[in-house]
Chains A and B, each alone.
Chain A
Amino acid sequence: MLKRLRLKFMLMASLMLVIIGFGSLDRAQGAEVCNGIPFNIGWIDLGVSTRSDFTAGLLGTIESFKGSNVAGLDWLYNDDSSLNTTEVGSQLISWWTRKNGRDSIIQVLNTSSSKVNVHIQILDENCAEITDFCDSYTPVDTVVYDLANLVTNVGQKISTGALAGHEGVIVITPVNNCPNGRKAIRFNFLQGNLRVTNSGADEYGTNVYARTAQGLCIAGATTTTTICTFDSDCQNFCLSGTCSVSGGQCTVDSDCPQGFCGSSSSCKTLDGTSGCKLNAVRPRDLNGNFSTLPGSAGAGADLVLISLKDNYRPSYAAVAGSATYSPGIFDDQENFQSCPGLNACFTRLGIDDPFPASENFAPATPSPSPSPSPIACTKNSDCPSGFVCLLPTPSGGTPAPGVCVPAPKPSPTPTKKPSGGGGGGCSIGGPVEIGTAMANVLVPLVPAFAIGFRVLRRRSRKNQK
């Protein structure tokens, strides 16, 4: 009897450890990247290590200010590339969300005088493709995609059921044909912008990321065989030590002082080789500014990090990548705190204690929504971010609808402020929660528990015999 009880206890303990362990090891979306740090004006700096083809991030904050919830969003600064959100490109990439009462609206413009087919992928929080569809744009065509009511440019309705309650990355790629073929092509003429709307009266908006595709410098004169070192030694280009009508890789015409930038004869579709692929975006650093305003009554944040890989064969697809981020945070007095590292293909986090993840931001003031009446609801997902659905106590008959009320603020988890680890606060590891620490120690012991459990069971069977 006692042995059985002991066995049951061990089994339950093992299961609980597994559950706690997985919950803590995964840097849950909605957590803060710098938990326990009180900076309300400053800048966040993320060291980046990645072999992915595209890594970028966005930073948005929402704030209660003078009775309103105001919000703004833009891409993080990087140390690798410029003009990502001001120069038209070949592939558009953006965060999208339909979580926490939000919706996303993306408008795309084809600035070219040519028609183009595009393949649109919608990836979720795990960078798994949950919806994809084809579309085509005529010259100077513009189309608006509302991810709650998705209709293509040619009028086809796309089911959005899989998107409800999710978020992730949307990728728009020009292709040769769609749905058949779907091989990426060089088409540096797309631009677009994102609006993230929220029934809670705040709104984010920014240009989307426009990623350019490479070509080769092409002249059009006869090939010569002159040995060369520089382009200036040749009538056209110096390529691998020999004058050629085709030169090095380029993105736009001005990259080719002796010709224009085009696709080589062997590059009808992008295949991932030099001069025939999307330009890699591999920053080693990302950073962004944040602030609360004088008189602020609370704030929330969305630090969104995206890392994708290009898969060119057999059809083009943007697939899950991975990047390791080493975050640190400065305040306006140049105080620095390093924060725990993280690894993700996609994640969305708060910044620090004054800027919890946006879903944990409870507006301190009533929202200045144009509708003065309370928002009716039947479940929490009907309410804007920071609100929950308060249903009336049932008293028989047909249940009456509830109303959205501010969510109770979660009681803060006690955290130890990072000591800095010496060297001006540049600790290698940052603050670690007690649950995470326990799980890190105990989870590796789960197999030992399992083996022990098995041994004890065998013994009990032997004893019974």
Chain B
Amino acid sequence: MFDVFEYKNQKRRICSMLKKGFGIKYLLAALAFLLIIPVFAPIKAWGGAPLTTITTITDTDLGDGSQLYFFWDLRGRESFFQLTNTSNKKITVHVQVFNSATGCSEFDFFDTYSGNDTHLYNVRKLDSNDGNLTGPPSFNNGFGFIVVSFGADSDTGLTGNFRIIDSSGYEYRTNAADFEDFSDVGDRETLATNVYTFNFNDINGISLSDVVGIVVDNSSVDTNTITESSAPTATFSPILVNEKEAVFSCPPVKFSCATDLGINQAIVNSKGAASICSDTNTTGAVMLTLTSDFSSGRFIVGFIGLNDGAGHGTMDTWWANGGLPPPPPPL
């Protein structure tokens, strides 16, 4: 059976190439493809990427978190996030809520967790684990990101997840994203990258998306306090590839605070924001290559949410191709 498969496979591809081989369209597509591939593939050369255009990959698997990032959204949605202190020590964490709908305005408070403690926060009715939070502002119709910090790089044992429930009856849920410093590359807890990817398909009526990019300035994350006052941004050069390996180049896209975009004209943004690409492919993958030339490093967390607007939806983090050399330590 497999011999037949292999034969048919080869024959199908040879026939297809012969049919299209002399078409100008095919030639142009092939040239575009060849130009794109080196960008899509991870850069192998030592020192191949400018130091200012690489970031560390966020982790959602190792339960040693010390600074966790959550997406939240109250635009016809309810948002909850759960935080757990898996260590047996009492800790105090700094919780910062950034609202993209109001210019990345910040509300923050401190909260206390005993060992093995866990708490579910409701963003619409924010309370604290220790019961000391009073008078949080209204976040109605807002969206943004939340950072919970206990020493940005101290392997504390924080874990968490967030749950965004849309009024149309679906949920976006995923583990929180942990901050990783360039120094963690040596510890093998993260890798340096400049390429992120995510997949999409329209099976079972998926037609809406939330491509969420959160950007913070590395210089502020080594403390317990993130600052967005300098409005750090990250610019990517996006490429979309469909399931037939046809490549679509898209204009540069900028993420700042927590930016929420659509994929293309087939899988548009859930809340009416612009799409990254203008094609109409319903299945494929998007590759985002970092092109910013920022003076200090950026930490980037990306989430991709897909839904049908009628009760089905999922979310998880962007993928990355790591392995670039980290920048030299500061003098």
B-contacting residues of A (Cβ < 8 Å)? 41-43, 45, 65-75, 77-88, 105, 107, 109, 111-113, 134, 136, 138-144, 146, 152, 154-156, 178-180, 189, 191-193, 195, 197, 201-207, 210, 251-255, 257, 259-261, 285, 287-289, 291, 293-294, 330-332, 334, 336, 367-370
Contact = CB atoms under 8 A, between A and B. Distances in A.
Contact of A334 (B60, B117, B190): B117
Across chains A and B, which 9 residue pairs bring their CB atoms closest together, nearest first?
A205-B314, A72-B173, A252-B323, A68-B169, A77-B63, A179-B2, A70-B171, A113-B41, A82-B62
B53 interface: no
Nearest to A188: B323
A193 B203 CA distance: 13
A71 B171 contact: yes
Contacts of A369: 311
A262 B44 CA distance: 11
Give chain B's interface residue range (CB within 8 Å of chain A): 35 or more
A84 B38 CA distance: 25
A334 B46 CA distance: 49
A136 B321 CA distance: 20
Contacts of A138: 245
A139 B184 CA distance: 30
Given A134-B2, A260-B44, A370-B311, A86 B319 contact: yes
Interface in B124-139: none
A289 B316 contact: no
B62 A81 contact: yes
Contact of B172 (A68, A72, A191, A370): A72
Contacts of B3: 179
Given A156-B8, A253-B46, 10 more contacts: A41-B120, A45-B86, A68-B168, A77-B175, A107-B283, A111-B287, A154-B9, A203-B204, A334-B116, A367-B311
Contact of B283 (A69, A111, A144, A332): A144
B112 interface: no
Contacts of A85: 60-61, 316-317
A123 B2 CA distance: 20
Contacts of B325: 253-254, 257
Interface stretch (B94-102, B155-163, B224-232): B155-163
Given A111-B197, A179-B2, A206 B120 contact: no
A43 B84 contact: yes
A88 B62 CA distance: 16
Interface in B159-214: 159-161, 163, 165, 167-175, 180, 185, 188-192, 195, 197-201, 203-205
B322 A141 contact: no
Contacts of B46: 253, 259-260
A204 to B, nearest CB: 7
Given A82-B59, A156-B5, A41 B118 contact: yes
Most A C-beta atoms less than 10 A away, residue of B37, B57, B86, B317: B86
Contacts of A80: 62
Nearest to B2: A179
B140 interface: no
A334 B84 CA distance: 10
A268 B144 CA distance: 48
A261 B324 CA distance: 11
Contact of B312 (A112, A136, A192, A201): A201
B40 A113 contact: yes
B171 A83 contact: no
A154 B12 contact: yes
A111 B321 contact: yes
Contact of B321 (A74, A189, A203, A259): A189
B34 to A, nearest CB: 9
A39 to B, nearest CB: 10
B322 A203 contact: no
B201 A201 contact: no
Contact of B322 (A65, A87, A205, A285): A87
A109 B317 CA distance: 15
